[in-house]
Amino acid sequence: MASEPVARAVAEEVARWGGMRQTGVSLRYMMEFGARPTERNLLLSAQFLHKELPIRIARRALDLDSLPFGLSHKPAVLKMIKMIRVRHTNVVPTMALGVQQLKKDLGGTKAFPSGINEIHQFLDRFYMSRIGIRMLIGQHVALHDPDPEPGVIGLINTRLSPMLVARLASEDARAICMREYGSAPDVNIYGHPDFTFPYVTIHLHLMMFELVKNSLRAVQERFMNSDKHAPPVRIIVADGAEDVTIKISDEGGGIPRSGLPRIFTYLYSTAEHPPDLDGHNGVTMAGYGYGLPISRLYARYFGGDLQIISMEGYGTDAYLHLSRLGDSEEPLP
Q: Nearest Cα to 100, choosing from 280, 274, 286?
A: 274
Task: Give me the chain's average pLDDT, please.
Answer: 84
DSSP one-letter string for 25-47: -BHHHHHHHHTS--HHHHHHHHH
Mean pLDDT confidence for 142-165? 94
Q: What is the rounded CA–CA span in Å between residue 153 and residue 164? A: 19
Give the residue, 120 or 153, on which the prediction is more confident.
Answer: 153
Q: What is the rounded CA–CA span in Å between residue 266 and residue 268? A: 6
Give the pLDDT confidence score for residue 95 in this predicted structure.
Answer: 62
**Which of 130-134, 250-254, 266-270 has maximum average pLDDT?**
250-254
Q: Percent helix, strand and coil across the chain, each rounded to 5?
A: 50, 15, 35
Give the pLDDT confidence score for residue 104 in this predicted structure.
Answer: 67
Q: Are 188 and 63 in contact (CB under 8 A)?
A: no
- Mode of pairing for the β-strands spanning 187-190 and 233-239: parallel
Please tell me whether residue 185 adopts helix, strand or coil conformation. coil
228-231: list long-range contacts, CB under 8 Å, 24+ apart.
230/183, 230/185, 231/185
pLDDT tens string 281-319: 455 555 556 789 999 999 999 999 999 999 999 999 999
Neighbours of 302 (CB within 10 A): 27
Q: What is the rounded CA–CA span in Å between residue 114 and residue 30? A: 41
Q: What is the rounded CA–CA span in Å between residue 78 and residue 13? A: 21
Q: Are 217 and 286 in contact (CB under 8 A)?
A: yes
Is 60 exceeded by the pLDDT of residue 57?
Answer: yes
Q: What is the pTM of this model?
A: 0.85
192: left (phi over 0), alpha (psi -120 to 50) or beta: beta
Q: Which residues contact 7 (CB under 8 A, 6 or more apart)?
A: none
Q: What is the rounded CA–CA span in Å between residue 27 and residue 330? A: 9
Mean pLDDT confidence for 105-117? 58
Q: What is the rounded CA–CA span in Å between residue 249 and residue 247? A: 6
pLDDT tens string 3-25: 666 567 777 787 888 888 999 99
Give the pLDDT confidence score for residue 85 in this predicted structure.
Answer: 47
Per-residue pLDDT band for 280 (boundaries 50, 70, 90) equals very low
Give the pLDDT confidence score for residue 18 in this predicted structure.
Answer: 83
The residues pairing with 187 across neighbouring beta strands, listed in sequence order, are: 233
Q: Nearest Cα to 286, choosing from 204, 190, 173, 117?
A: 173
Instruction: Give me the half-sphere count of Cα atoms (radius 13 Å) on the Cβ side of residue 133.
Output: 19
Strand (E) positions, the chain?
Answer: 152-153, 156-160, 187-190, 197-200, 233-239, 243-250, 305-311, 315-323
Residue 100 identity (one-letter amino acid): Q
Give the pLDDT confidence score for residue 122 in this predicted structure.
Answer: 82
